Amino acid sequence: MSPQPLVIAGTALPLIAALAALAIPDYWVTLLTYAGMSAVLCIGLVMMTGYGGITSFGQAAFAGIAAYATAILTTGLALSPWLGLLTGLALAVASAFVIGWITVRLSGHYLVLGTFAWGISLFYAFANVEGLGGYNGIGGVPGLFGGSRLLFNALVWAFVAVALLGAVRVLDSRIGRAIRAAPSKAMAESFGVDTATAKLTVFVLAAALAGAAGWLQAHYLRIVNPGPFHLNASVEYLFMTIIGGVGSLLGAIVGATAVTVAKSWLQTSVPALLGSGFNLEGVVFGLLVLGLLQAAPRGMTALLPASFALRPRGSRRSETRLPPRAKPAATQSVLALRSVSKHFSGAQALDRVSLDLNAGEILALVGPNGAGKSTLFNAITGLSPASNGTVALLGEDVTRLPARAIARRGLARTFQHAHLRPEMTVIENVSLGAHTRTAQGVAAALLGRDRPEESRIFGEARGCLAELGVAEFANARTGTLSLGSQRLVEVARAVACDPIALLLDEPAAGLRAEEKQHLANAIVAMRDRGIAILVVEHDLDFVANVADRVVVLDFGTVIAQGTPDEIVRDPRVIAAYLGQAEVSGDVARALHH
Ligand code: ADP
Ligand code: MG
């Protein structure tokens, strides 16, 4: 989505809210205010859960931190509520840094349990810490605007608008793409993303929005007690987000509004219909949620046309490109492997592999399935470091460096099974390849100062897509592409790195003849630009076409190296391959050339 309509929507929201408040009954104004306050928090949840892959059951606790902060400052110390806002946000952010530092490093269920743990701890802290008023809380918190409900409602929706604008700007930026790639950790780290930092960033941003919601609540209700910051509230926010649709920022607003209205309606109509003996409205609410999720498993906004859903699209048009990386001179050694071994609990996947790769050279790595080719890629790129031996990149020992540090030095790769983010557009996926060549951060994105760099990134990505013959898909959602096209997109992403060394793991598998030709041309063109290329490929025709040299791996050891011609005649190679029905056809064909 382009920012202009969003700015218009952003200024329109509070205006509409104010006007609506004039025209509709008080009861509805109250609901609108509640919905808006929840929406501010839920926008953070969409960023964190929907885009960053972190499910949080503790978001209400951050709202509580800001609410208590402003309550103390504005009652005890009689300071301005606006100072309370700044302090509340600062405290929510600071505690998110500390809590996030520990939590986001956990994975899967442990992370979810972690959010439970701090959600509960903070609730009990609110109730028990001296000076916070126990379960009764702190009363006498000042209202805003002399208690005008209309102005307060407009303020709430102004917060929603700002949150929305900020969220779109962040998600549709360099850091936003890193956040959205972070759930695919191995891939993201291979392109230089520090996934722990990316997750911490979105965690802190979401906490800031929760803090803003807590501040609003404190000055709306004019009393702060632990109740609204209980685990139950966190679960309800999560419900709102899921019902609205975690994949869409609009989902936060739709979900918050739908749940607020439904709850209020149930609270009055269920006891009237079914008697007020039990808490039946909770049961009916639960059934409604289940029914809704049956009808729209991806939330209410998933039923809308895509352009309504406020998803970051990354659709900048530009022809300018990023400045190229300094390249080593032709024939200079780029990668030097010495005696690289890799053990997996007993099994020896690589046994003393040594090889050299020079600038401006295409080296093909061939060998039967299970020979250790992908394992070698993971050892070189730092995803799964060698057990023994050394890997040098431009003369520097990188054997023990993390993948993202090696990526920053100019190594790019593709994966045997494409690792793309299916919900991101093709051009956004490719833009991630340029992560290490660019620098803008969250602040620049929030202020819109990253746009010049962003247009160069997108110009670069478009150029790389064109080089692989898949430019037509630039704005498609990646998950909708055929597997062959996805492979080419993966190669384009690696090219967007402007790498010094490029590692391609079976890039031609499953490609149609015409696609293979595009790929071969692109590989040769990159070689001619001085890039060192290591390519794993089973199709020996393809290898014979593009490779300068071939290394043959079998059972984790190098059994032969030489020119393509020498290799296809080598009896050890033929023996190694003939054991394998699926590739022997390729060998036979290559031998008949
Ligand atoms: P190739 O890419 O040449 O087909 P791989 O590198 O994927 O082969 O695998 C080489 C050997 O290492 C295989 O025997 C495989 O089962 C084993 N292997 C690969 N990764 C792991 C792992 N993470 N844990 C245990 N064994 C593994
Ligand atoms: Mg493999």
* Predicted model pTM: 0.91
Q: Tell me the residues surrounding ligand 2 (ion) with CB < 5 Å.
A: 373-374, 416
Give the mean model confidence (pLDDT) for residues 118-143.
90
- Band (14; pLDDT cuts 50, 70, 90): confident
CA of 459 from ligand 2 middle (Å) equals 32
Number of H helices, E strands in the chain: 23, 10
Closest ligand 1 atom to residue 345 Cα is 25
Give the mean model confidence (pLDDT) for residues 356-374.
94
Whole-number pLDDT of residue 247: 86
Whole-number pLDDT of residue 589: 54
Helix residue ranges per DSSP H, 468-498: 483-495
| Closest to 165 measured CA to CA, from 312, 21, 32, 298 | 312
Helix residue ranges per DSSP H, 336-441: 373-381, 403-408, 426-432
As a whole number of angstroms, the distance between CA 352 and CA 566 comes to 23
3-state secondary structure of 326: coil
The dihedral region occupied by 395, where left means phi > 0, alpha psi between -120 and 50, and beta the remainder, is left
Closest ligand 1 atom to residue 505 Cα is 2
Percentage of the chain exceeding pLDDT 90: 64
Closest ligand 1 atom to residue 378 Cα is 6
Per-residue pLDDT tens digits for 415-436:
999 899 999 999 999 999 999 9
Give the phi and the psi of residue 13 in degrees, each rounded to 5.
-55, -55
As a whole number of angstroms, the distance between CA 40 and CA 166 comes to 11
Residues pairing with 315 in the sheet? none
As a whole number of angstroms, the distance between CA 519 and CA 585 comes to 22
CA of 385 from ligand 1 middle (Å) equals 13
- Band (277; pLDDT cuts 50, 70, 90): low
Q: Largest Cα–Cα distance in the chain?
A: 91
Pocket of ligand 1 (CB under 6 A): 344, 347, 349, 367, 369-375
Whole-number pLDDT of residue 287: 84
Give, as one character, the DSSP assignment of residue 222: S
**One-letter amino acid identity for 268?**
T
Average model confidence (pLDDT) across the chain: 89
